[in-house]
């Protein structure tokens, strides 16, 4: 996913995902919508996501 630099919307809701939210999402510089609800991610939200100015 981190290689999809033009990605604008990513809906991964309700997929029973576990683990940490990947730092590589910050490479999606055009991302406007990120929906991760309904999963079991653990840990902190990566600070790198703060670089996503359109999110």
Kindly report, residue by residue over 20-51, the tens digit of the pLDDT: 999 999 999 999 999 999 999 999 999 999 99
> Beta 9-11 vs 33-35: how paired, if at all?
parallel
Is the distance from CB of 34 to CB of 7 less than 8 angstroms?
no
Residue 40: partners with Cβ closer than 8 Å, 6 or more residues away: 16, 17, 18
Q: Which residue has the tokens 């939210």?
A: 21
pTM: 0.86
| Tokens encoding 25 | 């999402």
Which pLDDT score is estimated for 3?
93
Q: What is the dihedral sign for C-alpha 13, 19, 20, 24?
A: negative
């Amino acid at each position: 996913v981190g290689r999809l630099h033009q990605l604008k919307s990513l809906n991964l809701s309700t997929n029973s995902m576990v683990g940490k939210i990947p730092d590589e999402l910050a490479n999606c510089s055009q991302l406007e919508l990120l929906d991760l609800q309904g999963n079991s991610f653990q840990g902190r939200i990566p600070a790198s996501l703060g670089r996503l100015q359109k999110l």
